[in-house]
Amino acid sequence: MKRHFEILDGLRGTAALLVLFFHLLDGILPYAANPLRHAYLAVDFFFLLSGFVIGYAYDDRLPGLSVRDFLRARIILLHPLVLLAVVLGALCYWFDPFVGSTQHPSGLRMALMLSFGALLLPTPSSSLPNSWLTHPLNSPCWSLLQEYLANIAYALVGWRLGRKELMAAVGVAALALVAAALKHGSLGGGFAWYSFWMAPVRVAFPFAAGLMLHRLRLQVRVPNAYAVLSLLLVLVFAAPAFQPAAYYQVFCVLVIFPLIMAAGAGAHSAGRLTALCRFSGRLSYPLYLVHFPFTAIFGHWVSATHPPLWRIVLAMSVLIVFLLGLSWAALRFYDEPVRAWLSARTRRKQASRLMQAA
């Protein structure tokens, strides 16, 4: 039986929670004053984790697993929550009470945007009012599109690469990442049309590097790894607002994140810590996907009403509790049952095909 990397689960949860805090603070503070100003790098950390986990789970299975079956398994794992996130995003967009009637496009246009969102396709910038994002109904979906593209590349090519070829690919991707960061001034791109070209660059290096970390079995022993590495993520995201941020952020993605990854892979947990890490990991994906539309409404509320600080803090606290509860409910009562049903249905079809072939 394969080992489960509980500490990596916990770190995924830590990163998702920090993204939530970043977007909440983004609604009330300018970028330079946001104490988690670099937290959008959590996306690059997620890509690194994904490359590691995909390699660990499928490197020894793909020779006997078709590309179609691999991609079906990934869609079953990822897409039910994508659909929920897009629907929630559409509802929050339409019923946002702090933007007046500016976000009430025609029903036909909204249906079209829902269709684009359900397929993770970028939406033209002029398609919705008040929108400059590639995925305006739920912005984090931009990274899911890149995740799917990375999965396709892995299924077609990545799992076949030998160690030298993979290291060469990592090197080329690193150079592309550095060039993109220097051109843009930071790694804060990929989610909007003006920087959409950065999206595939941001996924290429961390995903390939995660795959390489798995294949090289690079692991580092760190005592109290979950607490230490979670704190390190906080410190990385809360570093000063360097201008330009490119040099610092590239260093984080190329060096710091792989070291955190290696330390998380080399650590073990036991007892309550294991349960905490696993729960945190399970909650991370729904939290990442469902939080943004609600934090957008929160930001619009602050801009429209200019509430006092105590009311902002109270609203933030309530919203955090609500989003954690919503994420758990989405996982427990929607995502896990739907995935179980789809997996069982797939197994029945595969068994039926095998019986017919026999």
State pLDDT tens for residues 313-336.
Answer: 999 999 999 999 999 999 999 999
Q: Which residues contact 281 (CB under 8 A, 6 or more apart)?
A: 6, 8, 9, 10, 12, 13
Report the pLDDT value the prediction gives residue 99, as an integer from 0 to 100: 87
User: What is the band of 107 on the pLDDT scale with cuts at 50, 70, 90?
Assistant: confident
Of all residues in the chain, the percent with pLDDT exceeding 90 is: 78
Span 266-276, mean pLDDT? Answer: 86
Within 10 angstroms of residue 41's Cβ, the number of other Cβ atoms is 28
> Residue 89 corresponds to which tokens in the numbers above?
């995003």
Q: Is the pLDDT of residue 242 over 90?
A: no
Span 239-261, mean pLDDT? Answer: 95
| Structural element, H or E, at residue 141 | helix 141-156
Report the pLDDT value the prediction gives residue 26, as an integer from 0 to 100: 94
Span 107-124, mean pLDDT? Answer: 90
User: What is the band of 27 on the pLDDT scale with cuts at 50, 70, 90?
Assistant: very high
- 139 exposed, middle or buried (CB, 10 Å; 0-12, 13-18, 19+)? buried
Pick 324 or 109 by higher pLDDT: 324
CB contact burial 169-193 (16+ within 10 A = b; e otherwise) = bbeebbebbbebbeebebbbbbbbe
**pTM (two decimals):** 0.95
User: What is the band of 222 on the pLDDT scale with cuts at 50, 70, 90?
Assistant: confident
Q: Is the pLDDT of residue 353 over 90?
A: no
Report the pLDDT value the prediction gives residue 356, as an integer from 0 to 100: 66
Span 131-146, mean pLDDT? Answer: 92
DSSP helix/strand/coil, 192: strand
Residue type, 17: L
Q: Is the pLDDT of residue 2 over 80?
A: no
Of all residues in the chain, the percent with pLDDT exceeding 70 is: 97
Q: Is the pLDDT of residue 350 over 80?
A: no
Give me the chain's average pLDDT, please.
93
Report the pLDDT value the prediction gives residue 130, as an integer from 0 to 100: 67
User: What is the band of 105 on the pLDDT scale with cuts at 50, 70, 90?
Assistant: confident
> Residue 1 corresponds to which tokens in the numbers above?
């039986």
Span 192-204, mean pLDDT? Answer: 95
Q: Is the pLDDT of residue 114 over 70?
A: yes
Closest CA to 105 of 97, 113, 120, 116: 113
Contacts 24+ apart (CB under 8 A), 176-183: 176/201, 176/204, 176/205, 177/201, 177/202, 177/204, 177/205, 177/250, 177/253, 177/254, 178/250, 178/254, 181/246, 181/247, 181/249, 181/250, 182/244, 182/246
Span 113-118, mean pLDDT? Answer: 93
User: What is the band of 357 on the pLDDT scale with cuts at 50, 70, 90?
Assistant: low
Report the pLDDT value the prediction gives residue 125, as an integer from 0 to 100: 64
Report the pLDDT value the prediction gives residue 275, as an integer from 0 to 100: 92
State whether the Cα torsion 80-81-86-90 is positive or negative.
positive
User: What is the band of 128 on the pLDDT scale with cuts at 50, 70, 90?
Assistant: confident
